[in-house]
Amino acid sequence: MIPTPTDRPRRLRASAALRRLVTETHLHPAQLVLPVFVKEGITTAQPIASMPGVVQYPLGGIAEVVSAAADAGLGGIMLFGVPAERDASGSGATEPDGILNRAITAAVDAADGRITIQADLCLDEFTDHGHCGVLAPDGSVDNDATLARYADMALAQARAGAEVLGLSGMMDGQVAAVRAALDGAGFADVVILAYAAKYASAWYGPFRDAVESTLQGDRRTYQMDPANAREGVREAQQDIAEGADIVMVKPAGPYLDVLHRVAAVSSVPVWAYQVSGEYAMIEFAAAAGAIDRERAIAESVLGIRRAGADAVLTYWALEVAGWLRAGRSLS
């Protein structure tokens, strides 16, 4: 005779109301951040072929996307610039009239305090070689020379009005260098978001289309080895010690274990970036009829939150926020 089970977890799954009552992981629109690409020299939005539904915005389109993000209740937008010209030092990153700095000011004006305006602080979009820093004579990325460029870039972005600076270059000492520059120039209230555990990942492929990257080779000498998890915790702890206000794990989905480890020890908020490859994978699989698009999106974002992210950068931020505001359950 088969014994009758006494412990029945299924009791709490019996109805939608019960499932909603005992849900462990919750998501709010304010925990979502929308990455936004702004391209110099265009007048209408340009589709990105490898990221269906995502576009490069003209400078004149920033106010509209900021208003949409604010109306949706998002926590903020993260701006990336796509300049018309590039050079070895990424000079466009620090010019006051550079595309990213102009976009920051336009976004801040449009936001009027309703959402946070965040800016990517990295040179890869602005260098003609596509690396995240300046190069030494032997062609390697010069870590310490790059720190000086990051400090200048931080000041340019702070002057333009950015509230959160996303340090994504993975140079040693970048948080300390930027914090010192900001504090010394009277920008002590500008927030540093450190991309602390950023991996040398194949999942960035479509992003490089979005920013029209000129990279030749790879970034394995400064971005992290995908095989390493403890190192991700070490990087996060180092960035926190240097003054990071928030730390990031990137990509999100393939590195949920790292995200969980970092969240377990972090004394500051932990965010995660659901990157372009994660987005494209679901979009193309859904277009092929292989998966249920909306359920896959919801499950992927919930998984990132469940692993420990306090906020998620995702290209689906507006769509997911719309579902949440309509009262729809993601689980």
- Dump pLDDT digits (tens) for 215-226: 888 999 999 999
Helix then strand then coil, % of the chain, to nearest 5:
45, 15, 40
Can you tell me the mean pLDDT for 124-150? Answer: 96
Per-residue pLDDT, 217: 81
Any domain includes 269: yes
Per-residue pLDDT, 331: 84
Any domain includes 8: no
pLDDT more than 90, % of the chain: 93
Q: Which residues pair with 247 in a beta bridge?
A: 194, 270
Collapsed DSSP state (helix, strand, coil) of residue 321: helix
Any domain includes 15: no
Which band of pLDDT confidence, cut at 50, 70 and 90, is reported for residue 1?
confident
Helices (H) and strands (E) in the chain, counts: 11, 10
Strands of the chain, DSSP E? 32-39, 46-47, 55-57, 76-82, 116-121, 164-167, 191-198, 246-250, 270-273, 311-313
Q: Which of 86, 131, 219, 250 is catalytic?
A: 250
Q: How many domains, in total, are found in the chain? A: 1
Dihedral through CA 121, CA 123, CA 125, CA 127, nearest 10? 170
Can you tell me the mean pLDDT for 88-96? Answer: 96
- Contact criterion met (CB below 8 Å) for 167 and 178: yes
Q: What does each C-alpha distance from 13 to 3, 9, 21, 22, 306 come to in angstroms?
A: 22, 7, 10, 9, 19
Q: Which of 198, 219, 261, 305 is catalytic?
A: 198
Answer yes or no: 39 catalytic.
no
Per-residue pLDDT, 168: 97
Any domain includes 268: yes
Q: Which residues pair with 116 in a beta bridge?
A: 76
| pLDDT tens figures, 298-315 | 999 999 999 999 999 999
Per-residue pLDDT, 190: 98
Which band of pLDDT confidence, cut at 50, 70 and 90, is reported for residue 3?
confident
Any domain includes 82: yes
Find the CATH number of the domain harbouring 115. 3.20.20.70
Q: Is the pLDDT of residue 6 over 90?
A: no
pLDDT more than 70, % of the chain: 100
Sign of CA dihedral 30, 33, 34, 39: positive
Query: Which domain does 50 fall in, by range?
Result: 27-200+207-325
Any domain includes 12: no
Count of other CB atoms within 10 angstroms of residue 190: 21
Per-residue pLDDT, 53: 97
Q: Is the pLDDT of residue 124 over 80?
A: yes
How big is the chain by its Cα radius of gyration, in Å? 20
Answer yes or no: 198 catalytic.
yes
Any domain includes 7: no
Any domain includes 164: yes
| pLDDT tens figures, 16-73 | 999 999 999 999 999 999 999 999 999 999 999 999 999 999 999 999 999 999 999 9
| pLDDT tens figures, 230-283 | 999 999 999 999 999 999 999 999 999 999 999 999 999 999 999 999 999 999
